[in-house]
Amino acid sequence: MKNKFLEQYKQQTLRTCQLKQLHILEEIDAICRRHDIEYWLDGGTLLGAVRHGGFIPWDDDIDIAMRKEDMHRFCEIAHQELSDDLFLQTPENEPDVKEQIVKVRDLNSFYVEPSDNFSASYQKGLYVDIFPMEKYPTISRTLAKSITLGVSKSWSILRKSHYYSLRSFAEFFWFSAKYALCRLIWAIICKIKPKDTYMSNIILNNGYGIMHRQDSIFPLKEIQFEGKTFLGPNNLDAYLKDLYKNYMEIPPVEKRQIHSIFIMPELIKE
């Protein structure tokens, strides 16, 4: 049963949360432009920019992407240049975070997702997701999806908390073997196939097997989001079709859901 008061509260605070996330994105954009680091709006944020001119009305996060090597450089710089109220969260500095994603979090807020672990002390403020992108070998999308799904699903299951049982014992060996095999196949393909056509999220994050043509991303171009200028892929139509197929179609009302379980946009009044 849904709590109508909680749902009302999330609706009432959603816009405040979106504007806080927009502020985080502006800081990221300023750092990237200052140091010539390329990033682009991705996922639902890019879809919102094209279809709504800003946030998708029921969306409560921001997604951007960077080449993996640019992300490493961004992380080195952001540690020193982000405002005191923001925190760069990586799998290295907060290992309890299971996603292989970098997040810039607002410390003066609280954001609860279905996958959050309250026994772990990692930061849980509002955030902008930064997805690491890498070059893909020139293979069919079907084969890419088969391998990336095998890797990402196996990784996800192996990282979950398990209770001792015969099933969990069998799962450990099955998915460990599947993960190792898919990784090996991918490594071999990357050695023998050219990597000059496609790019996508690192395979740990790419269970959908999405591949973008590199020339649909670069050169980047400016795009308006919430009345402000950020960077986006070169071919918006091709990029969004890779992600969502018929991306201009508005989903039915029952699917327009806020992702989070609970959001508190401000912990301490400033």
What are the pLDDT digits (tens) for 79-96? Answer: 899 999 999 999 888 877
Cα angle 21-27-29, degrees, rounded to a multiple of 5: 100
pLDDT tens track for 154-166: 988 887 766 667 7
What pLDDT shows up at residue 163? Answer: 67
Whether residue 26 sits in one domain with residue 153: no
How many C-beta atoms lie closer than 10 Å to residue 233's C-beta? Answer: 25
What pLDDT shows up at residue 173? Answer: 86
Closest listed residue to residue 151, CA positions, set 187, 118, 194, 195: 187
**Structural domain for 146, as ranges:** 141-192
Question: What mean pLDDT comes out for the span 246-269?
Answer: 89
Whether residue 112 sits in one domain with residue 183: no
Whether residue 100 sits in one domain with residue 24: yes
Question: What mean pLDDT comes out for the span 113-119?
Answer: 82
Selected residue with higher pLDDT from 269 and 36:
36
Whether residue 246 sits in one domain with residue 186: no
pLDDT tens track for 212-251: 999 999 999 999 999 999 999 999 999 999 999 999 999 9
Whether residue 225 sits in one domain with residue 113: yes
Whether residue 95 sits in one domain with residue 39: yes
CATH number at residue 34: 3.30.460
pLDDT tens track for 30-60: 999 999 999 999 999 999 999 999 999 999 9
In a domain, 269, yes or no: no
Whether the predicted pLDDT of 67 surpasses 70: yes
3-state secondary structure of 107: coil
What pLDDT shows up at residue 3? Answer: 84
Whether residue 151 sits in one domain with residue 122: no
In a domain, 270, yes or no: no
Identify the weakest region by mean pLDDT among 29-38, 62-71, 246-255: 246-255
In a domain, 206, yes or no: no
Whether residue 99 sits in one domain with residue 150: no
In a domain, 91, yes or no: yes
**Distance of alpha carbon 134 from alpha carbon 157, whole angstroms:** 23
What pLDDT shows up at residue 170? Answer: 79
Question: What mean pLDDT comes out for the span 185-200?
Answer: 96
- Work out the percent of the chain whose per-residue pLDDT is above 70: 99
The mean of the pLDDT values for the chain is 92
Whether residue 171 sits in one domain with residue 226: no
**Distance of alpha carbon 64 from alpha carbon 83, whole angstroms:** 19
What pLDDT shows up at residue 104? Answer: 97
In a domain, 205, yes or no: no
Residues 6+ apart with CB under 8 A from 228: 22, 26
Whether residue 220 sits in one domain with residue 118: yes
Number of domains in the chain: 2
pLDDT tens track for 130-189: 999 999 999 999 999 999 999 999 988 887 766 667 777 777 888 899 999 999 999 999
In a domain, 38, yes or no: yes
What pLDDT shows up at residue 119? Answer: 76
Whether residue 68 sits in one domain with residue 46: yes
In a domain, 80, yes or no: yes
Q: Are 230 and 223 in contact (CB under 8 A)?
A: yes
In a domain, 209, yes or no: no
Selected residue with higher pLDDT from 270 and 264:
264
Whether residue 170 sits in one domain with residue 52: no
DSSP 8-class letter at 104: E
Q: Is the dihedral of CA 117, 120, 121, 127 positive or negative?
A: negative
Whether the predicted pLDDT of 127 surpasses 80: yes
